[in-house]
A and B are shown apart, each in its own frame.
Chain A
């Protein structure tokens, strides 16, 4: 019998752990304790127990922010995946100019979020923007109407803008997954006499699973912690109608309620954790 040696190669993750611990976990632990205090970001903090968490659920604005965040995230995550997959299927076929088309679809994702909002504003602004003028020239009524000045249409615009900008990213990942499904595998299945449904379920889906997993999880996390798109297009307005939890956390943090904002960050963490865990379970690669 051989003696069991310690398998050192499991510690190949050590460099990542160290880097991450020093620059993320360590500051985080120092910050997280603040969620149980009334720290204003600068002066003395005193322990207030779970008061911040109780306050959060008593705050109308916070509850409305949860709703906004959830609606945005469901809309965005679902649409990003559907549109991204649709683009990928379309781009997976062979046609002239395929490479160029792929690059073009991805391009909007490279514009800095700092200016993207303004570009969209120039496009969509009710009664003034490019789209309004385009409709006018075509003799159509102002279809955009006052979209951006009323909830929930403002939220719908935000979801669409987000999908418009980032579907190319989702597409690229799906494309990688789709291309791994070679003709051989499908042909082999065809010879086995598999029905189209069986082919999809037994062959395509398992092979696509890594791509689905990455896209679903990334988009859930990204959409639930949305900040840039909303901040640059509506600043959470009108009023607080389109404010997301991330924006709320930022405003509370800088608005002298640092302890409270940390508590809200913990709550947001839990809100993200649940769907991520579920989707991780559902998209586990079968060996």
Chain B
């Protein structure tokens, strides 16, 4: 009986995993097809193994630069939002004054407003402070988009922390900032891990803002590098698109695999205990 249920569980897990790998398999098949391939002819499941595509894709898409830009933007944005959002989440959870209620309400409300209606005034502002076509400008814009989520996650997690933590810190003579930085922040690793997981790849793959604020090819990010393979009146260069996308995914998977222990540990480490 127990063996049977174990077998069922394993089968289920394997099936779910296979399902989640299907998109990657398709991407790989596309990446290895020759440009002459008539896509739906012959054995669709078996690619042509045209490895040349990866070389071509690398050169044509400048994906190397794009990956570096995406990495810098993602790292900068996460750092900025974790610090400012963590502090704000702490203040909101622990000092529930009218002012902080206002801050929380404002941030959360704006999460629900489609950013597109800001575009023109934001572009004008960015233009004025010479932030267009710079990575720091893009980091600022991405940060404001991720900030509500950070504040929401941090305040939710910090509320679940026992108040005794703060009180003990206060007895030790900690100020508000040092209580947060020395006591609270380490205790809410799960919040940080959740935030990174929920928002990190969205920033890595940002397209909606990138098209306005990253212009020259030396500044462009991964989705923009991919967009070079789509034509307006016509299909795309699928083999090159897919091999570029594959190149861009590899480092992410590697980083994720290396850090997943820490991630999962971070998720479960905290004092999220009542």
Whether chain A touches chain B in the assembled complex (some CB pair under 8 Å):
yes
Task: Give residues in A with beta carbon < 8 Å to B.
Answer: 7-13, 15-17, 19-20, 22-28, 30-32, 34, 41, 87, 90-91, 93, 95, 99, 101-116, 118-120, 122-123, 128, 130, 133-134, 164-165, 168-169, 172-173, 175-177, 179-180, 182, 185, 206-207, 209-210, 213-214, 217-218, 221, 224-225, 246, 249-250, 253, 258, 261-262, 265, 268-269, 272-273, 276, 285
- The reply on B112 being an interface residue by CB < 8 A is yes
A182 and B273 within 8 A (CB): yes
Looking at the assembled complex, report how far the CB atom of A17 sits from the nearest CB atom of chain B, in whole angstroms. 5
* B residues lining the A interface (CB < 8 Å): 9-10, 12-13, 16-17, 19-24, 26-27, 30, 39-40, 44-45, 80, 83-85, 87-88, 90-92, 94-95, 97, 99-100, 103, 106-114, 116-122, 125, 140-141, 143-145, 147-149, 151-153, 156-157, 159-160, 175-177, 179-180, 190, 193-194, 197-198, 201, 204-205, 207, 222-223, 226-227, 236, 238, 241-242, 245, 248-249, 252-253, 256-257, 260-261, 264, 267-268, 270, 272-274
CB pair B112–A214 under 8 Å, yes or no, is: no
Please tell me if the beta carbons of B151 and A16 are within 8 angstroms of each other in the complex: yes
Assess whether B12 is in contact with A90, with CB atoms less than 8 Å apart.
Answer: yes
Q: Is the pair B117, A17 in contact by a Cβ cutoff of 8 Å? A: no
Known: A214-B156, A261-B116. A112 touches B110 (CB 8 A): no
CA separation between A109 and B198, bound complex, in Å?
9
Residues of A with C-beta under 8 A to B190: 176, 180
Q: Besides A20-B144, A119-B26, A176-B193, 11 other CB < 8 A contacts?
A: A7-B97, A28-B118, A31-B121, A32-B117, A34-B117, A103-B257, A110-B205, A110-B249, A110-B256, A179-B267, A218-B198
Q: What are 27 contact pairs spanning A and B, CB under 8 A?
A: A9-B179, A12-B177, A13-B92, A13-B100, A13-B151, A16-B103, A16-B107, A17-B88, A20-B107, A28-B113, A90-B13, A93-B9, A102-B260, A104-B20, A106-B256, A107-B24, A112-B205, A118-B241, A169-B197, A169-B198, A175-B264, A180-B270, A180-B272, A207-B273, A250-B116, A265-B117, A276-B112
Instruction: Determine whether the beta carbon of A253 is less than 8 Å from that of B116.
Output: yes
Chain A residue nearest to B40 (CB atoms) is A128
Interface of B is mostly: helix
Q: Kindly list chain B residues whose C-beta atoms are within 8 Å of the C-beta of A15.
A: 83-84, 87-88
* Docked pose: A200 CA to B125 CA in angstroms: 52
Give the nearest-CB partner of B271 in chain A: A180
Q: B146 → chain A, closest Cβ, in Å?
A: 11
Q: How far, in whole Å, are A92 and B194 apart by their CA atoms in the complex?
A: 16
Q: A249-B116, A261-B117 are in contact. Are A176 and B88 (CB under 8 A)?
A: no
- Give B97's nearest chain A residue, CB to CB: A10
8 Å CB contact of B20 from A105, A224, A273: A105
State A259–B45 Cα separation when bound (angstroms). 49
A113 touches B207 (CB 8 A): yes
Q: Is B252 a contact of A110 with CB atoms below 8 Å?
A: yes
B142 to chain A, nearest CB (A): 10
> Contacting A225 at CB < 8 Å: which of B100, B114, B223?
B114
Q: How far is the CA of A11 from the CA of B87 in the complex (A)?
A: 9
- Check A207/B274 contact, CB under 8 A, given A90-B9, A99-B264, A115-B245: yes
Give Cα A142–Cα B114 distance, bound, in whole angstroms.
39
Report chain B residues within 8 Å CB of A41.
Answer: 120
- Give Cα distance in the complex from A114 to B210, angstroms: 13
How far, in whole Å, are A59 and B273 apart by their CA atoms in the complex?
A: 51
Chain B residue nearest to A103 in the complex (CB):
B260
Say how far B147's CB is from chain A's closest CB, in angstroms.
5
B260 / chain A contacts, CB cutoff of 8 Å = 99, 102-103
Complex interface: chain B residues within 8 A of A95 (CB)? 9-10, 13
Who on chain B is nearest to A276 by CB? B112
CB distance from B266 to the nearest CB of A (A): 9
Contact yes or no, A24 B20, CB < 8 A: no
Residue of B20, B85, B194, B245 touching A16 (CB-CB under 8 A): B85
